[in-house]
Amino acid sequence: MAEAERIIGTPEVGDDTQPEPEAALPKGRRRIVALLVVAILAYLLDLGSKMLVVAKLEHQAPIEVIGDLLKFEAVRNPGAAFGFGEAFTIIFTCIAAGVIVVIVRLARKLYSLPWAIALGLLLGGALGNLTDRIFRSPGVFQGAVVDFIAPAHFAVFNLADSAIVCGGILIVLLSFKGLDPDGTVHKD
């Protein structure tokens, strides 16, 4: 019991010491705040970049950023990664909504800052692409995602996709290190 209390930051009974100023929020709440800050930042960067691309780059020639290696090119993608599954836009919308629900449910048990960052990236990216699928043409739950980062010999993607991939890589690394979202470490 004492170990669980140490992990979640619950004071022992009869402990009259005052919490330190930085411990004003319980450890779990601070992790949720971190998750939300990362998610909001990822979402707003994605949303802002897509608004800029639609306003300034759509129906224009691609902009060469690094010669032929990297261009900014407005592309509407109704499918998943690499344009696969264009006929299944509604399924990708449901998957994104499901990911968001899972992250929100998992956040209640979150006591690890690295996991908060990883899940925040996933949440922000999923919200960014879900916003496109709900509000962009051709219609609700059928919208095409705005992609614009076009590296040579690779698929065109956006900042939401980047956030999702970075969050996924971080989750894999945390799993290999044995760190769980609740802060426990497995030494297998």
Q: DSSP letter string over 54-75? A: HHHTTTSPPEEEETTTEEEEEE
Contact 77, 132 (CB under 8 A): no
Active site residue 161: yes
Catalytic residue of the set 15, 147, 182, 188? 147
How far apart are alpha carbons 35 and 88 in whole angstroms?
Answer: 30
123 in helix, strand or coil? helix
How far apart are alpha carbons 160 and 47 in whole angstroms?
Answer: 9
User: In this structure, what token pair is assigned to residue 113?
Assistant: 């800052």
Catalytic residue of the set 46, 161, 182, 188? 161
Burial pattern 88-127, b for ≥16 Cβ within 10 A else e, equals ebeebbeebbebbeebeeebeebbbebbbbbbbbbbbbbb
User: In this structure, what token pair is assigned to residue 51?
Assistant: 């608004």
**DSSP 8-state symbol, 39:** H
Contact 106, 181 (CB under 8 A): yes
Question: Which residues are the active-site residues?
Answer: 147, 161
